[in-house]
Structures are given as structure tokens and as C-alpha cells.
Amino acid sequence: MRASGTFTVADFTPAQVPSPPIETGTPVGVATMTKSYEGEVAGRSATLFTAAYDQATATGTYVAMESFEGTLRGRAGSFNFAHAASTVGDSREGEYFVVVPGSGTGELAGITGTGGITVDSDGTHRIWFDYRLGH
């Protein structure tokens, strides 16, 4: 099944973590995020976000672990999903997106699958899940 929707970032808070003991050309940062979702994907998420990113050139890579609570096509529950990508200017490369096996609750228990995120030219953030529900 596929469920899609849009999301907005409600909060992005940099987290204080020790600097890595190795200096690189792009520093690593950590933040927490909260997001709100609308559409066939409706609800909210809490995210742990790690990135090595150069703001000046819009170049870098992020890795995120999200805990989602809400509905997919009307089925209520919660689950975790992980995603990562690299950006070089306007392009998005090396994308990874997976639902964490065994993380589903409620009517989303047994969920597995993949998905993706895109950003429209007007800044609209879109998400979709291609998923299965187990027993």
C-alpha cells in the first residue's frame, strides 16, 4: 500500500554534543526536530537528526531517525522510520528510507516498508510510505 502526505517542521533545536575528536572539512551537528503531517499520512513525529552540512554551498549528508504517531490511510498507531540523503546544491543523492521492523503499534503493528521525501520548488515537503502490514 502507499500513503502520501505533506509535512512541516514545527521545531528544529540544535543539541549540545561533544565535538568529534577528528576535525573534517564539514563539521558534524546533531538536532532534535518535531514535524506535523497532513494527508494520507497524518500526525506528528519526533526526530533525532545528525548532519555534516555546509550551509554556504548547500552540500552535505544527513541521517535521521523518526518516531511517528498518527495515521496512515486512516489506520492509527506509531512506528519508527529512518532516512538519509546527500545534497549538492539543489540535487538530492544517495537517498535511503526504511520503516524500522518491529516498531509498529496499534493498527500499524507489523508495519514494514520503504518510502521517500521530496521538496517541491515552492518548499513544500512531501513524504510517502510504500508499506505492508503484518499480523
pLDDT digits (tens, 9 = 90+) for 60-112: 999 999 999 999 999 999 999 999 999 998 888 999 999 999 999 999 999 99
Please give the Cα distance from 64 to 83 (Å, whole number): 5
Number of CB atoms found within 10 A of residue 129's CB: 23
Question: What confidence category does residue 135 fall into, taking pLDDT thresholds of 50, 70 and 90?
Answer: low
Query: Could you tell me which residues come within 8 angstroms of residue 13 by beta carbon, excluding any fewer than 6 positions away?
Result: 31, 32, 33
3-state helix vs strand vs coil in the chain, percent to 5: 0, 70, 30
Number of CB atoms found within 10 A of residue 17's CB: 11
The predicted structure's pLDDT at residue 18: 81
Please give the Cα distance from 75 to 102 (Å, whole number): 17
